A and B are shown apart, each in its own frame.
Chain A
């Protein structure tokens, strides 16, 4: 009998738990999932919460629902991961494991940016609620959407927020009195994903009157004078600042020596097994930027399927021939327009070339797909 410990109940952890529960049904292997929250949140919907289109309780489901599938759920804080001893400290107690999947995601660290208290963001559910109140109070002026650094969850989100804000302000008849500026480290909108996607996003932003301030690496916020300050000395005054907070990988006290200098766990990019111990897998936002994959739920999802298959193959001695699919798709909702971009990261994973990216569709109907995907996600993994 093996005990499989899953750390994190986000996209990656949830998919691993479901796939293992199905694959190990009827066996005496034990599956445990640990998360600090009693809920799984569907993070792509956080901007909708901030814009008042969804309520917080609509975008979450209790992780305890997994228990119906045979997964033991422990609500608690992961305090320390001791790989050599195959133990994890949770709520002051040690949990042992035979195999472990670490999918703790990226943590939001607003304190790392001076003056962040003057900004709002939908990168946490609490942040989304706070941002909603700020938007409700907004009576016109300049909205600046800034990005604190290149590492943050869901790279397309700031562009979506800009589009959704334009739509919301027009609905509230405040658009004529408002200006929307998107300040981003990229030279062109989403240029890291190539010209096919970048040109479509640029066109949408320009049709919505959103000004793009490229190559802007934010350094600090001056709350007193209400200015966003860039590393190159540029300053952008704002009336309302929406800022992607600084992110850091949640390595949760993982053994020293097992992390890259930037704090990402060292993994084999072909199997996602930790270098220090092949019985430990690390997937998702806490590891992907170090292997040149984006911090996006969809990538964590496909890694989770692949990792769960490796575990099933190991435990059942069976050949389960599913490889990792290094693709990402994202439904970008701009309020009255939506885009479905896709990227294939096969070449960037082995550093032989750039990602191959394109746009699968652009239509208002794609927005409906996003809503349906949320329903499908909950129904499939947490019903």
Chain B
């Protein structure tokens, strides 16, 4: 079977290419590196499991999940209109002399329906922010309380184990 395969010119070509690749890898030291990696990697999986790296990975994964939750149509329409309006307002001429606002002009600006809509959105955002922080702090407090209870019980069990260990040792 093997001899039959070796008779095939395509197989011969593939083998020749593989052999020449191996020779090049040997000359450059890549083969030695590969040998070492094969030996080392399965033996030291725990090196790759650095808790700090895993935490970074988990946090990044969550942020990506948040991005995944946003509906592409919504984000595209909203951001494109925002960019359009910014381009319309922030012209080079306007940038040369940005409008300044004092207390009087601020009160006057509050009469502008666009500013009123903007403020409405900001207020809405502030309400959502406040509610979300309130809920999360309550949740975290409850979690901390439950954790402390569990840890107290675990510390009691550990102390008992250590007493038993000391008795065995003596």
Chain A interface (Cβ < 8 Å from any Cβ of B): 18-19, 22, 194-196, 257-258, 260, 266, 275-276, 290, 292, 301-302, 305-306, 322, 324-327, 329, 342, 344, 346, 348, 351, 353-354, 356-362, 376, 380-381
Q: 15 other contacts beyond A305-B44, A344-B51, A358-B62, with CB at 8 A cut-off?
A: A19-B43, A22-B39, A195-B139, A260-B164, A302-B46, A305-B46, A322-B47, A325-B47, A329-B54, A344-B55, A351-B155, A358-B55, A359-B65, A360-B54, A360-B58
Per a CB cutoff under 8 Å, which of B47, B49, B55, B164 touches A266? B164
Q: Could you say which residues of chain A place their CB within 8 Å of the CB of B161? A: 260, 266, 290
Q: Convert B146-166 into 0s and 1s, putting 1 for each residue whose CB lies closer than 8 angstroms to a CB of A.
A: 010011001100100100110
Count chain B residues whose beta carbon lies closer than 8 angstroms to a beta carbon of A.
31
CA distance in complex: A290, B62 (Å):
32
**B78 in contact (CB, < 8 A):** no
- In the complex, chain B residues 14-64 whose Cβ is within 8 Å of any chain A Cβ: 39, 42-47, 49-51, 54-55, 57-59, 61-62
With A260-B161, A322-B47 as contacts: A362 and B151 at CB distance below 8 Å: no
Shortest CB–CB separation between residue A242 and chain B, in angstroms?
28
CA distance in complex: A194, B43 (Å):
31
CA distance in complex: A306, B47 (Å):
11
A342 & B54 in contact (Cβ 8 Å cutoff): yes
Q: Could you say which residues of chain A place their CB within 8 Å of the CB of B57? A: 342, 358, 360
Shortest CB–CB separation between residue B45 and chain A, in angstroms?
7
A-B contact pairs, 29 of them (CB 8 A): A18-B43, A196-B62, A257-B168, A290-B161, A292-B158, A301-B45, A302-B45, A302-B46, A302-B49, A305-B45, A322-B47, A325-B50, A327-B51, A327-B54, A329-B49, A344-B55, A348-B154, A351-B151, A353-B147, A353-B151, A357-B58, A358-B61, A359-B61, A360-B54, A360-B58, A361-B61, A362-B65, A376-B42, A381-B42
Chain B interface (Cβ < 8 Å from any Cβ of A): 39, 42-47, 49-51, 54-55, 57-59, 61-62, 65, 139, 143, 147, 150-151, 154-155, 158, 161, 164-165, 168-169
Shortest CB–CB separation between residue B104 and chain A, in angstroms?
50
Q: Could you say which residues of chain A place their CB within 8 Å of the CB of B143? A: 194-195
Closest 3 CB pairs of A and B: A358-B58, A344-B51, A380-B42
Interface of B is mostly: helix
A304: nearest chain-B partner, CB-CB: B46
A325 & B165 in contact (Cβ 8 Å cutoff): no
Q: Could you say which residues of chain A place their CB within 8 Å of the CB of B151? A: 351, 353-354
Q: Could you say which residues of chain B place their CB within 8 Å of the CB of A357? A: 58
Q: Could you say which residues of chain A place their CB within 8 Å of the CB of B47? A: 322, 325
With A322-B47, A329-B49 as contacts: A351 and B58 at CB distance below 8 Å: no
Shortest CB–CB separation between residue B46 and chain A, in angstroms?
4
Shortest CB–CB separation between residue B61 and chain A, in angstroms?
5
- Residue with the highest number of chain A CB atoms closer than 10 Å, among B43, B58, B65, B161: B58
Q: Could you say which residues of chain B place their CB within 8 Å of the CB of A276? A: 168
Per a CB cutoff under 8 Å, which of B39, B49, B169 touches A325? B49
Per a CB cutoff under 8 Å, which of A18, A322, A325, A381 touches B51? A325
A325 & B46 in contact (Cβ 8 Å cutoff): yes
Per a CB cutoff under 8 Å, which of B39, B55, B150, B168 touches A356? B55
CA distance in complex: A301, B48 (Å):
13
- Residue with the highest number of chain A CB atoms closer than 10 Å, among B47, B54, B155: B54
Q: Could you say which residues of chain B place their CB within 8 Å of the CB of A257? A: 168
Q: Could you say which residues of chain A place their CB within 8 Å of the CB of B54? A: 327, 329, 342, 344, 358, 360
Q: Could you say which residues of chain A place their CB within 8 Å of the CB of B45? A: 301-302, 305
Shortest CB–CB separation between residue A322 and chain B, in angstroms?
7
Per a CB cutoff under 8 Å, which of B42, B51, B61, B158 touches A346? B51
B139 & A351 in contact (Cβ 8 Å cutoff): no
B165 & A266 in contact (Cβ 8 Å cutoff): yes
CA distance in complex: A48, B150 (Å):
34
Shortest CB–CB separation between residue A117 and chain B, in angstroms?
33
A302: nearest chain-B partner, CB-CB: B46
Shortest CB–CB separation between residue B64 and chain A, in angstroms?
9
CA distance in complex: A254, B44 (Å):
31
CA distance in complex: A166, B170 (Å):
55
A358 & B65 in contact (Cβ 8 Å cutoff): no
Shortest CB–CB separation between residue A194 and chain B, in angstroms?
8
B154 & A292 in contact (Cβ 8 Å cutoff): yes
CA distance in complex: A334, B48 (Å):
26
Shortest CB–CB separation between residue A261 and chain B, in angstroms?
8
Q: Could you say which residues of chain A place their CB within 8 Å of the CB of B150? A: 354
Q: Could you say which residues of chain A place their CB within 8 Å of the CB of B62? A: 196, 358-359
A255: nearest chain-B partner, CB-CB: B168
Shortest CB–CB separation between residue A346 and chain B, in angstroms?
6
B57: nearest chain-A partner, CB-CB: A360
